[in-house]
Amino acid sequence: MSRYSAASLAVGQWLVVSSLATALACASASTNVPPPDSDNPLPPGVNSDPAQFRRQISAFAPSGKPHTRARPGACPFCLVSVSIEAVGDTREIKPDSGPATGRPVAHIVNQDSADTEAYYGIQPGIQADYYLWVDRKPHSLRAQWTLLRVPMGAGFVTAGHPRDLVLCHSHAYGEVSNSDADFAEYRHPLGCDAIASAEGMNTNQASVLPIRLSALFARIATIVRGKETAARGGWIECARGCCT
């Protein structure tokens, strides 16, 4: 074996081990978000009637470019397919100046017929679909996001706990963006927050570690552990970069 081939193999092995170690480290953290609940207040302006709510958001057109992703299921050793699609122009969202009137930014549907997604508690699409809603925090200009559950039949729109919308990665100068929504591990496997605080490290890794490969290792690692807690939350292309 040539020195070049041996060196290439060593680098490849290092990448595999490092990626798997990163995935396992992520998997060890508890990241589940409490699902929408009728005890939580709805964001201001959100209609509790499902039909009225769907009419309310009809002005925000879907992007037409949904992503179908493997997500943790709330069942042992299982994955569910979940679609996520941008709604409206997500690039209008500014984390330090949320919209005065709340609006949807993403539509999420669990395509499995029986199993619930584990991170958000997203039930199968035959029961409900979900929206990420962005508005302003009370007594502040800063943006927050809330997960809304919209039942397909009888019932009421319910909400999760609001969370801060955070800029996790700034655009490079001259970078062109498109309105988009996805799950963070398929865009930034090490975590959006890691990119914001350690861009130098991420730039080096981005040149040798494809995003899909790292996402695959995250999936493998969490299946080995018997749970899928390495999955991360939602991500949108916002005014200054990506926000989560």
Question: Which among 127, 132, 241 has a CA at the least distance from the CA of 193?
Answer: 241
Q: Does residue 198 surpass a pLDDT of 70? A: no
Q: Does residue 87 surpass a pLDDT of 90? A: yes
Q: What is the pLDDT of residue 188?
A: 58
Virtual CA dihedral for 93, 236, 157, 82, nearest 10 degrees? Answer: 170
Q: Mean per-residue pLDDT for 149-161?
A: 96
Q: Does residue 216 surpass a pLDDT of 50? A: yes
Residues in the chain: 244
Q: Does residue 187 surpass a pLDDT of 60? A: yes
Q: What is the pLDDT of residue 110?
A: 98
Q: What is the pLDDT of residue 62?
A: 95
Query: Tokens standing for 147?
Result: 């997960």
Could you give the percent of the chain with pLDDT greater than 90?
53
Q: What is the pLDDT of residue 86?
A: 96
Q: Is 231 left (phi over 0), alpha (psi -120 to 50) or beta?
A: beta
Element (H, E) at 216: helix 211-225
Query: Tokens standing for 88?
Result: 């409206």
Decide which of 177 and 59 is more confident.
59
Q: What is the pLDDT of residue 84?
A: 96
Q: What is the pLDDT of residue 219?
A: 53
| CA angle centred on 165, ends 164 and 170, rounded to 5° | 140
Give the confidence band of 211 by pLDDT, cuts at 50, 70, 90.
very low
Give the confidence band of 175 by pLDDT, cuts at 50, 70, 90.
low
Question: How many angstroms separate the Cα of 126 from the Cα of each of 56, 75, 151, 152?
Answer: 21, 18, 9, 7
Q: Of 45-59, 130-144, 196-210, where does mean pLDDT reach its minimum?
A: 196-210
Q: Where do the structural domains in the chain lie, given as residue ranges?
A: 3-243
User: Residue 123, SS3?
Assistant: coil
For residue range 2-55, what is the model confidence (pLDDT) as tens digits? 554 555 544 454 444 444 433 333 333 344 789 999 999 999 999 999 999 999
Range of 65-79, 118-132, 207-221 with top mean pLDDT: 118-132
Q: What is the pLDDT of residue 148?
A: 98
